[in-house]
Structure formats: C-alpha cells, structure tokens
Structure 1
C-alpha cells in the first residue's frame, strides 16, 4: 500500500481555502473519485493517467507558452508515479499551476472533474462539501506504534507518513534521570506526547476534536501532558494497534451522534465569553455584514440552513429581494458566508438543528 505524501502538510480545509485564493495561469484541477472501495492501486493509477491525458488536451487548447505547458505536464505525470493510495480515501484532488502543486486525498466522495482554467483552481465545490461535515481526528495509542485517522462524518482515512513510534520506544530510551525510574518515565511520556502533538499540528486543524483509542494507561499519558486537553472529545479503551480501518470506523461511528452533540455543546461553551461581552452578530444579515467588514472569528450555523440572497454596497449588506442598485447574486448565502470567514482565518462549524434558535440559526463571534 502506498503512503500519503504531502509537500506541505496542513488541515485539508485550510489547504483548500489557500488554493481558492491562488490566481495563476494556467491552473489545472483533477478531481478523481475512486470508483469502488475495492478499486486496486493499478486501476486507480490508470484512471488518473487517463485524466491527465484529458487535462493535457484541454491545456494545449489554451494559449500559453510551450515551457509553461511542459512544466505542468511534467508535474501531472510525475504524480502518477507516486500516487497516494491510502486506507479510507474516496477522492483524490490534484492541483497544478506554474508555481503550485498540491495532491490532496479526501475521505469523502466528490464528483470527478477535469478543469484547465485561465487563472483559478476548481476548489469551491470541494470546500463547500467539506465545510458542512463533522471533522475530527482519531488517535490510536499503543506500546508498539501510533496511528492517526482523519474523520469527516462517518468516513475516516488513515494518515501513515512520519508518525511517531509507540510509547514503548520512548520509555525504553529513558530520557532524563536513569537513576530515578519514575522521573525518567515521566520525561519519556512527555516527549512522546510532544512528538504526537507535533504530528497532529501538521496534519489537522488544531481546533478539531480528538477521539483517543487504546490502552488506558497510555491514554492517561496523553491526557496528562497534552497542551490541548479540551479538544479530547472521547476515549475508547482497548487494543486497536492491529485493528483494520473498518474496525476502527465501526467503533467511532457507533458513538458519532453523541460525539457531535458533545462537540456542539463545547462550541457553545467556548464562545460564551464572546456572547457575554457582546462580541458577536446573530442572524444571517448581521453576520454577513460583520464578515464583510473582516471581523469574523467563529461561525456557527445550523445544519440544513440554506437560502439565496443579494449583496449590495460592495458586498457589505445582504438583502433577500432583488435590489434596484448594483448587486451580486448568491445562490447559497451560507456557503459564501462560510468562505468569507475561512478566508479571514476564522473557523466554521455546522451544528445540530435547533441549537441556535435564539440566534436565528446563525451566530458569528467577532474580533471587536
């Protein structure tokens, strides 16, 4: 099985927001869905190579310098030789421009498409789909190894590159005072947790909740020395170092509704200070204006909330009837609001229906 390779590790959502702001000519996007869960590596590689051929045909139809087109062709072809094919991925997104190459495996299904564009990547639909998912990390801790899974709703995908060894490796190394076993164990456990958290920072959003699975004692090490204890959403005790992805997924999904409920409660607790200090906007129109003024921090929206509208006065205000003045039409105001918030470095979460009733289904904490 091939391992995941990313040139610039970061949370998937953040990476897509960054790509949305890239303006380079030309920009090639290949979104390729794995046909079935049992699709073999060779089959997917062939599908990718066929997609590259189509992308190159579209690219050559554009009026760009020969060297530019050759560079992009070489990048696309080189990816085929080191194609990520990891446990649990459902879609591969590839983005190539003269100065940017990104390969992003996703644990969710997306519509396959091949686009060669003058100056932008085809990321908006992917970003909108991911925004509305419950995103989390699953950390499996054991003596012999450490495993990490990126989760979106009921789907999980294992990340296998650059993971720290199991806690046993650090305990046997016995960093610190070897004449004081208890102290040496403490120092080893701290180092282990530090290495694990460094990995998590590279591969997921620091605000994403964590589900811990594994030996109770090793989980206690992590809880005692982690710098993000409030992000621990649940513990599942047992031996899972040799469990299959399907077995890990079954354990997590069986608790998913309760995990989402707990995550939502934590989000409301987290923003309560801003609510008490009146640093927030409620209702879609006030939230839109606050985001348009670049004051956005954390956006919470009820799942299923969607509406169309029009922005006026250079995008500052929102109305729901077609205005007489200049306007921009928004087929889904919520999606566009979420994009604005993410582009400002803010956070976006979709929570259970009814949870934000007193805020008219949407609340945005603000910087001022």
Structure 2
C-alpha cells in the first residue's frame, strides 16, 4: 500500500460534526470538500460553520484572522465522485446506523484513489463491525472528534496498518488537537464511555426522587470545579441528541437495564420542544441558566452521597476500560482531562489515597443505582487493585 500524505480532505455529511471537522481542517490549512446529497443542507453549511467559528473565537482557541482566511479553503459539493476526487483522506459523519455506515463506506471505498485514508467519525460503533464489506480495509479507521474539545480518538480497523495510525496521529496534531489511540476497540471509546454513566446516574437520581436537577449539578460543580454539571452538559449536547442515543439498540449493560426509564424521563421534555441551549430551554432556561448564577454553588449545602454516586459511576466506567485493555489508567485520566478541561481525573481519585471513602464505596453494589453487572463489578475490582499498586 502506497500511503498518501494528507493534503486534501473530503468530509461526508454536512451536519454539525461534518461542518465542524471541515472547519478546523480548513483553519489548519487543508483544502477541504464537504459533501452532502441534500443540497439544502449544503446551503446552510456556511451559517453553521460561522456559528461554530464564533464559539471557537469566544473560547480563545482561534483568531478572527484565522477564520477569515479559512473560507477559501472550504467548498461544498453534492456529487460524491467529484467531491472525493483526489482526496487523501475521506471521513464520514453520516447517521449513526451500522447498516447505513456500511453502505456509505463501501461506496466511498469504490470511488477513492489507492492509498486514500478512509475514516468514520462514529461515536459508538466499532471499526470491526463497520469494516465488514470493505474490499481490503487496509486504510480504514475510526477518527472521532468532540465538538469544541481538542481530543480525537483513533481506533484502527482490524486490517489497518501501523502506518495508517501514524499518519492519522500526525494529522490530528496538525489540527492542534490531541490524538488518543486506543489499544483496542471499545464501545464509546474513552471519553464517551465515562460521560455516559455519569449522565445516566444523574438522570436516575432525579427520576427516582433522590435529588433535584440543581442538587445534582451543584454537587458535581462544587467537587469537580466545572462550569456546569451533568444536566447542564445535556442541555449543551442537545436533549434530542441524548434521547436519540438512548433509542438506539443498547450496547452496554447499563443502557439495556435503564433504557426505558431514561427515555421516559427525556421524552416529554423533548416532545415539548425543550431541547436545551439552542431552543432556549431544557433542564434550565437560557441564556441565563441557574447554574451560571453567582450564588448557585452556595445556595444550599451539597449532599456528599450525590457526588459519590456521580463520580463512582465515572470511576467504574474507567476501571472497565482498563480491565478490558483498551487504555491504561493514565490514558483514561488524560482523555478525561483533555475532553472535559477538568483538572480532577476519576481514576487518580481512587488510586492516590486522597479519597478513602470513595475508594471503599465506588464498587459497592447499591442495587438500583449500580450500573454494572456482577461480572463487570469483578472486572472493575480487579482493575482497581492493579492500578492502585502500579
């Protein structure tokens, strides 16, 4: 295989993630083509990218000059063959459906020039499942980005070479991002595997009347130092997006166990049109949510049991990643810090001796809020023992 150097990129799917990935590549100096078969979607690309650019500028990550100079490097196209052309990297961000992605990937591979890298921006599907049907799969990998965060997951397909991983790592760094190469494929990769249980536990605490939305977020923000808690995060992600993710076939124990309950919690809110920040209302009202007020953190005492349940779910998820061999404890904590910008990392909390209570309780089998099966509990305990001794 004659591996190309990445100069020209084609992104498939002009939704939020396709538009975001195309924008940051153009800012980094790459020639970018954004394809979508829906020409109406292409007409809204510039407005969508300008909105994202505004957020990047406001965060201090990009200058206005860099944004002004990037537009000439972005073009849109509704002809797939023309869009791919002589691209060195083709990356798809289509609907998160295994069958749809398999079909699209086969179409892309048939049109690509030899040596072109083929990647998927999937947030949950495994490369080995998507690889089915590809002619050779030697250049296929998952390359998953996070909107607004510099972390990018790299998971090579089952037939991909080490050279492919090396080229993708170099590409990610050229974007000003941080590559996180998993040792093996893992559902949800690292950051999403940590955030998923956190958000699930938050919703269970509220749906079972153990806490209010504000109490959950207050506990998290007080202990972790973040600017928002789990419910604020979900408003940011979009409650419709969170709900759609729960409606997909369950891939993990906790998703199968709590799927119906979580959907009952989210469905009425989304049905009322309250999808989060973009709609002006979700769990909070915007543009001035309660969690951003000066007295939010001190308006009432924090319940320690709420925080223990929240961070416990994150720690458990991290330990399962380590037990599976997908990443080390240090890599799990690194992905967490980069993806969330929080200084406190979950596995460090239970391996440094700074939180004896948490270490003792994190794997307790508190029945109705436990997200782990018995087998997973054993795996997590084993990983905890190993990482604590390392």
Q: Given the two structures, how large is their TM-score scaled by the length of structure 1?
A: 0.30
Comparing both structures, which one devotes a greater share of its residues to strand? 1
Comparing both structures, which one devotes a greater share of its residues to helix? 2
- Look at both structures and tell me which one has the larger radius of gyration over its CA atoms: 1
Q: Given the two structures, how large is their TM-score scaled by the length of structure 2?
A: 0.29
